[in-house]
Chain A
Amino acid sequence: DGGITQSPKYLFRKEGQNVTLSCEQNLNHDAMYWYRQDPGQGLRLIYYSQIVNDFQKGDIAEGYSVSREKKESFPLTVTSAQKNPTAFYLCASSMATGTDYGYTFGSGTRLTVV
C-alpha cells in the first residue's frame, strides 16, 4: 500500500546537535511538506517543496533545513540554531499543488531535547 513513512518515531537530541528526520513517500506525489505540532496547538508550516530540487520556507523555517533531491524523499534537519526543537514533526504530501488536493500525512516523529 502507498503511504508516507517517517523515521524514527522517537528521537532524542543533545543540546548543540543537528538531527535529521526522514520522510519517504511512494504515492508519486509531487508536493511535500513539513509541519511542527506543539501540545494543544495547530500545525505550523516549516518548509514545503512543489517539485524536485526546489523548496520554499514556510512560517517557521529558522533553525531548520531541507533538501529534495528525489521525488520520494524530503528529509528535515533540525539544526543547533533551533532554540526550542522539542515537538511533534509531521511530514505530508499531496498529488500536486492546488487547492483541491488534500494531504496524506506520515505518523510523525517526536523529537525531544535532552
Chain B
Amino acid sequence: GNSVTQMEGPVTLSEEAFLTINCTYTATGYPSLFWYVQYPGEGLQLLLKATKADDKGSNKGFEATYRKETTSFHLEKGSVQVSDSAVYFCALSSNTGGFKTIFGAGTRLFVKA
C-alpha cells in the first residue's frame, strides 16, 4: 500500500541555519505530495504541495521538489527562524488510495536563538 517515511526528530538548529527534512514515499499511480506544519496546540496548516514529477512547491521560504526517480519530497529552507519551530508532516494523496491523504509520522523542529 501507499506509505510516507520521514526522518525522525527532533531536529535542533540554530537561527539562520539551513534546514532539510527528508521525506520518501511509496505509492502506485501518480500521487500528489504535500508538506503540512503544526504549531503547538493547533491543527495542521498546508505549507506547500507538488502535483507532478519535477514540480517545486514553495511557500514562506520553504521549498520541496517532487523527485519521482528517488521517490522523495525533501523539505528545505535556507535560513530558519525561531518562529519556524513546529512539527512538519509530509503527506501524499493518490488516486489508487481512494484519494485519501496519508501522513508521515511528523518531524519536530526546534530552532534556538
Select A99's contact among B41, B45, B94, beta carbons within 8 Å: B94
In residues 55-114 of chain A, which contact B (Cβ within 8 Å)? 58, 90, 92, 97-108
Q: Are B32 and A99 in contact (CB-based, < 8 A)? A: yes
Q: Are B46 and A103 in contact (CB-based, < 8 A)? A: yes
Q: Check B93 for interface membership: any CB of A closer than 8 A.
A: yes
**How big is chain A's contact interface, by range?**
20 to 34
Interface size on B, residues (CB 8 A): 24
> What does DSSP make chain A's interface, helix, strand, loop or mixed?
loop
Q: Are A58 and B100 in contact (CB-based, < 8 A)? A: yes
A107 to B45, CA, bound (A): 10
Q: Check A34 for interface membership: any CB of B closer than 8 A.
A: no
Known A90-B43, A98-B99, A102-B49: A42·B104 in contact at CB below 8 Å: yes
Q: Are A99 and B51 in contact (CB-based, < 8 A)? A: yes
| 13 extra interface residue pairs, beta carbon distance < 8 Å, beyond A43-B103, A99-B31, A105-B36 | A4-B43, A41-B106, A42-B89, A42-B103, A42-B105, A43-B89, A48-B100, A99-B93, A99-B95, A100-B32, A100-B49, A106-B43, A108-B43
